[in-house]
Amino acid sequence: MATIEKRIGKEGEAQYRVKLRLRGHRPASATFDRLTDAKRWASETETSIRAGRYFDQVEAKRHTLADLVDRYIAETLPTAKVRGKRERALLLRRWRERLGHITLADLTGPKINEARAGMLGRITRLGAPVSPGSVNRELMALSSLLTTAIKNYGWLDDSPMRKLTRLTEPRGRTRFLSDDERDALLRECKAHSPMLHTIVVCALSTGARRGELLGLHWRDVDMKRGLMTFHQTKNGEKRTVPIVGVARDRLTEHAKVRRVDTGLVFPGDTGRPLEVGKMFREACARADVENFRFHDLRHTAASWLAMNGATLAEIAEVLGHKTLAMVKRYTHLTEGHTRGVLERMNKAAFGASA
């Protein structure tokens, strides 16, 4: 119920203070110069409080995006069940730099869209334009942050990103090594560092991601059974893959000179995971392997699987994909295998009767 008190100032001017108390809700108050404004505020605010919107709006006006980022990184992120916490914090700090001064109440879809347009014009440290995929990851980080503000903090009642659509991303790369490129690259890796050679062989043999291999500990490697287990994967699920052939031989040799000051399979000089990026790029340059990234070793493994008769389901299982969508880029490489399967089925089903 609203009560309105008329107050007379020192110079005789009138002011109207509204106090609004509803059972089960916090009290609200405001002061106006005109009685009509006071009555209108009382009516609209009572409706808003009963609908559960008013105090969210108050909090949204009280806090900036910078406040939200700081609270999330300090309180929520350390215990959140998300992968890549350091990258998530980096992406959110970028939003803090762009729009941190804006209150959550003023953070609108058009303002986020304007910031997104500016992101697309950015150039990476490698001299290439920022990709739509990178922009989408930053938008997803912001969306998750705003959802936390709604569900956990009560600072928002709705997300300004609800009507924003993701950018269209180009189809994933399918760059893989030719036989000559493979031989040249492995030769240069071996000449540069036995450890670099081993990690590249393991990536080609198992299709593992760089982060999975660099985070691998010796306790996760069972040389007797020929298995390695990745606990920190992109989809959050543990994955075990066989170690066979040259990869098993290389790891066996690598185990003979393992470091005693760390449990990592591929440690750097400081005991942290090996900084493989620069070494790999230099090896590619010496081997004349162009337009090739470490992640393309994973594509190469998948392509070799496809060309040697593996089904899409088998490729997905090896790579650790939950669905077949990500491996459909290799469909054209499995066509020969698919034809053979159909020919065998038709021969068994129809025989000579057709």
Task: Decide if 136 is inside a domain.
Answer: yes
Res 334: pLDDT? 64
Task: Decide if 174 is inside a domain.
Answer: no
Task: Decide if 350 is inside a domain.
Answer: no
If asked whether residues 189 and 326 sit together in one domain, one would say yes
If asked whether residues 323 and 235 sit together in one domain, one would say yes
Task: Decide if 167 is inside a domain.
Answer: no
CATH number (domain holding residue 273): 1.10.443.10
Q: Is 352 exposed, middle or buried (0-12, 13-18, 19+ CB in 10 A)?
A: exposed
If asked whether residues 147 and 194 sit together in one domain, one would say no
Instruction: Give the mean pLDDT of 107-132.
Output: 81
Task: Decide if 169 is inside a domain.
Answer: no
Distances (CA, A) of 184 to 200, 211, 283, 291, 315: 13, 24, 9, 15, 26
Q: Which residues contact 106 (CB under 8 A, 6 or more apart)?
A: none
Percentage above 70 pLDDT, the chain = 86
Closest CA to 332 of 310, 296, 306, 301: 306
* pLDDT of 10 strictly over 90: no
- Name the average pLDDT for the chain: 83
Res 72: pLDDT? 94
- The position carrying tokens 């081993």 is 198
Task: Decide if 172 is inside a domain.
Answer: no
If asked whether residues 79 and 190 sit together in one domain, one would say no
If asked whether residues 317 and 268 sit together in one domain, one would say yes
Q: Which residues contact 130 (CB under 8 A, 6 or more apart)?
A: 119, 120, 121, 122, 123, 124
268-281 residue pLDDT tens? 888 788 889 899 99
76 or 336, which is more confident? 76
258-268 residue pLDDT tens? 888 889 999 98
Task: Decide if 324 is inside a domain.
Answer: yes
* Counted domains in the chain: 3
- Rounded to two decimals, the pTM is 0.57
Res 51: pLDDT? 60
Q: How far apart are CA 179 and CA 216, in angstroms?
A: 28
75-107 residue pLDDT tens? 999 988 777 788 899 999 999 999 999 998 889
37 or 191, which is more confident? 191
Range of the domain at 105: 65-153
Helix (H, G, I), strand (E, B) or coil at 141: helix
**What does DSSP assign to residue 155?**
S
Res 353: pLDDT? 54
123 or 305, which is more confident? 305
* pLDDT of 183 strictly over 90: yes
Res 279: pLDDT? 92
* pLDDT of 352 strictly over 60: no
If asked whether residues 238 and 322 sit together in one domain, one would say yes
If asked whether residues 191 and 313 sit together in one domain, one would say yes
- Domain finish residue from 136, 153, 170: 153
If asked whether residues 128 and 213 sit together in one domain, one would say no
Task: Decide if 162 is inside a domain.
Answer: no
If asked whether residues 195 and 312 sit together in one domain, one would say yes
- Domain finish residue from 15, 30, 52: 52
If asked whether residues 48 and 76 sit together in one domain, one would say no
* pLDDT of 9 strictly over 70: yes
Q: How far apart are CA 198 and CA 26, in angstroms?
A: 64
If asked whether residues 112 and 227 sit together in one domain, one would say no
If asked whether residues 8 and 85 sit together in one domain, one would say no
195-241 residue pLDDT tens? 999 999 999 998 898 989 998 999 999 999 999 998 877 766 788 88
